Structure 1
């Protein structure tokens, strides 16, 4: 979804907070089983910045992207609901769940939203729900819907490379950032949450671990994005022990610590400096077998540090038996 003219954003009406309240549209736990990968772009030029002046957006992005950790979560099925009551204005289904960078991906021909639904809430308010899973749209044009209505499920259709819901909010045809509806072209490191459209507070996470694990070889990135089954047990003659992390929001200069401790010694302890800002990425480290792995519990620790402050930590465990 690309804004045609950044200039039109300056025409959004003022004082919108409180006039239209949004419920969270996905059946997931934010920060655990889903994450906000991209926010509304507040830079009207060729650059990009989200409403906090951070990098979680891309040039021209006109909505909020709520993503699932891996494709496996999409396959399991995660429901999408309207953010507010309204009437179904339009919909599309029938597009396959194929990432746009897949050679088998179909031509979009203007269907960047993929499978989706548009809802008219009255008073000039409208919301759009994009990238739904093939065959899951449950409503039809003209249906009256409420917040408990299931519109469909998160998918990988249209112009996307990861499973997510793109939520667009519009007032009188103009795209609005639900986090700062009255300030579409400015940003603040400390935005005022009382001016947003969300009924309940939505925390801003500048980084998050999407998935992580311990395995016996260098993980394949495509398999990680699809969703690797957890490995909880290893044999003493396992050829290697590897700790890995799949994450979003890392910035150049961040430091990712990957540590794996066994019952008798530290298997590996490495600090990796992120060399470039990326929407999503993977890092791993490990050690090959030397003799045999001691029996017992192994604990993995992942820490992302930014400007000397630990932003996020995850702990993993496995057993050699």
Structure 2
């Protein structure tokens, strides 16, 4: 989200020597497990892209940090957005529909969607965008502490996936919470961050995986496709699928199935272009008229970049019948 889209922001003058707040995480989730950072702030002053770790996990002029959920099902279950530091609520907005932008709706002037701005004093503010419709739980003038629930992660405003866009400002100027000194080179020393406990840098990874008899369509994967724990021995094929974030041209997604009687299937799926979100699947046909060897199987997904593994997950299931 560009700075011009941050329509809830209130610009305050910053007193000299103002001490920065120490920030807690803004979501009630476990980073890297059931939520992840989709985009960091763009530190490149020109048309290029550079995050605080010298990577490209951002996009041009992105002015905040996007904390994302893996699926629409996770959003529907309700994940709380939390205040990152003590302060006073300076502004709120609610009532904007979730999914309006993805459906082709006009969100001009309301790109932040449902949101909250908190004044932390001495010129410091935080802004929370794309909250779920009807979920904003605070009002202007409310005092909050770090961890106070503000609402739920949603899909309102200019948003194509469920996430919280968090922007930190000081005196009206955007501050990268991972690298508050704009003159600092990269990678930035983690001790310089505003976070109480700096989140590990994860430019890409695996969001979800599953086993099916037929490939699920991408829409159902994004929505939160159900995962089978037991598959029939006479299934004509076994499909392993993976859903991930941060794919870059040249990455390779390795999908592997292992099982009883020495069964082994492996497939390497290249990522042929940069993709903020990606989905791949591969499968093996039934090996004999007798069906699949009965017993426990394991699906393993590995995302490899420049020869190094940057993300991996596995899942076990049973073939019976």
Tell me the residue number matched to 1:2.
2
Secondary structure of the 1:279 match is strand
TM-score normalized by structure 2? 0.92
Tell me the residue number matched to 1:180.
179
Secondary structure of the 2:109 match is coil
Q: 2:194 aligns with which of 189, 192, 197?
A: 197
Tell me the residue number matched to 2:37.
36
Whether the 8 Å CA contact 1:17–1:197 is kept in 2: the answer is no
- Given the alignment of the two structures, is residue 132 of structure 1 paired with residue 131 of structure 2, yes or no? yes
Distance 2:19 2:233 in 1: 60
Question: Cα deviation per residue 1:155-207 (whole Å; 9 max; x = unaligned)?
Answer: 011111110000000000011100001126x651x320111100112110121
Q: 1:274 aligns with which of 271, 275, 280?
A: 271
Over 3 Å counting, the alpha-carbon distance change for 1:18 and 1:90 in structure 2 is closer
Give the Å deviation of 1:100: 2.3
Tell me the residue number matched to 1:309.
308
Tell me the residue number matched to 1:101.
102
- Given the alignment of the two structures, is residue 260 of structure 1 paired with residue 257 of structure 2, yes or no? yes
Whether the 8 Å CA contact 2:24–2:147 is kept in 1: the answer is no
Q: 1:283 aligns with which of 265, 280, 283?
A: 280
Whether the 8 Å CA contact 2:178–2:198 is kept in 1: the answer is no
Whether the 8 Å CA contact 1:16–1:182 is kept in 2: the answer is no
Whether the 8 Å CA contact 2:136–2:151 is kept in 1: the answer is yes
Secondary structure of the 2:174 match is strand
The alignment of Structure 1 onto Structure 2 pairs a total of residues equal to: 310
The gaps in structure 1 that reach 5 residues or longer are: 5-11
Distance 2:103 2:278 in 1: 18
Distance 1:293 1:81 in 2: 48
Q: 1:228 aligns with which of 225, 229, 238?
A: 225
Give the Å deviation of 1:289: 2.7
- Given the alignment of the two structures, is residue 80 of structure 1 paired with residue 77 of structure 2, yes or no? no
Tell me the residue number matched to 1:242.
239
Distance 2:35 2:17 in 1: 27
Question: Cα deviation per residue 1:114-159 (whole Å; 9 max; x = unaligned)?
Answer: 1100011110000100000111101111111112321000001111
Over 3 Å counting, the alpha-carbon distance change for 1:83 and 1:182 in structure 2 is same
TM-score normalized by structure 1? 0.92
